[in-house]
Copies of this chain bind each other. A is one copy, B any other.
Amino acid sequence: MEPDAAALDSAFMALADPVRRSIIARLSRGPATVNELAEPFEISKQAVSKHIQVLEQANLVTRTREAQRRPVHLNPARLEALTAWIDQYRLVREGQFRSLDAVLRSNAATGSGPDTRSHHEQFPEAQRS
């Protein structure tokens, strides 16, 4: 269940849209069909269906069959994975080093200062096509 780079890509990308975030917000109150989700917006149902495709591809929601309707369900586990990733980095320096940056940087080139290591996301992790 460890989120790899591609999974984080699709998840964050999916949330980088106000319509899709609204859909998430709506689904947090319970499952809904495409038509129910599309109604509050001025965009077409096809567009909403595409948005849901994006969310589904990011594993943030799942579509189930139920008669002729296809309710969309939220997947809280994936949201949890995102907060886990973010916390991994935001917890390190909760702003208290802000004024010491200049000092740390001045002798950082020699690699002798007190540092805050022990991380698991090694730096070179990504590549694009």
Known: A26-B123, A43-B128, A121-B25. A76 touches B94 (CB 8 A): yes
A79 touching B71 by the CB < 8 A rule?
no
Taking residues whose C-beta sits less than 8 angstroms from the other chain, chain A's interface range is 35 or more
The listed residue (B5, B40, B66, B87) touching A83 by CB distance below 8 A is B87
A116's nearest neighbour on chain B, judged by CB, is B29
* A34 contacts the other chain (CB 8 A): no
Q: A9-B16, A82-B86 are in contact. List 14 more A-B contacts (CB 8 A).
A: A18-B126, A18-B127, A22-B126, A28-B119, A29-B115, A29-B119, A30-B105, A30-B115, A66-B102, A69-B105, A71-B101, A74-B93, A76-B89, A77-B95
